[in-house]
Amino acid sequence: MTTTSFTLLATGLIVLTLIMGAPTAAVAALDGSTPMLCAVSTVMECDAAGKCVRITPDVHPDFPSILRLNVPQRVIVEGGPGGRKSEIKSVARLDGRLILHGGENGRGWTATVAEDTGRMSAGIVTDTFAFNIFGACTTP
Tens of pLDDT along the chain (140 residues) come to 444 433 433 344 344 344 444 444 444 579 999 999 999 999 999 999 999 999 886 777 777 889 999 999 999 998 866 788 999 999 999 999 999 999 998 999 999 999 999 999 999 999 999 999 999 999 98
pLDDT at 3: 41
How would you class 7 by CB atoms within 10 Å of its CB: exposed for 0-12, middle for 13-18, buried for 19 or more?
Answer: middle
- Each domain of the chain, given as residue ranges in start order, spans 3-138
pLDDT at 110: 97
Name the pairing type of β-strands 52-55 and 66-70: unpaired
CA separation for the pair 74, 56 (Å, rounded):
28
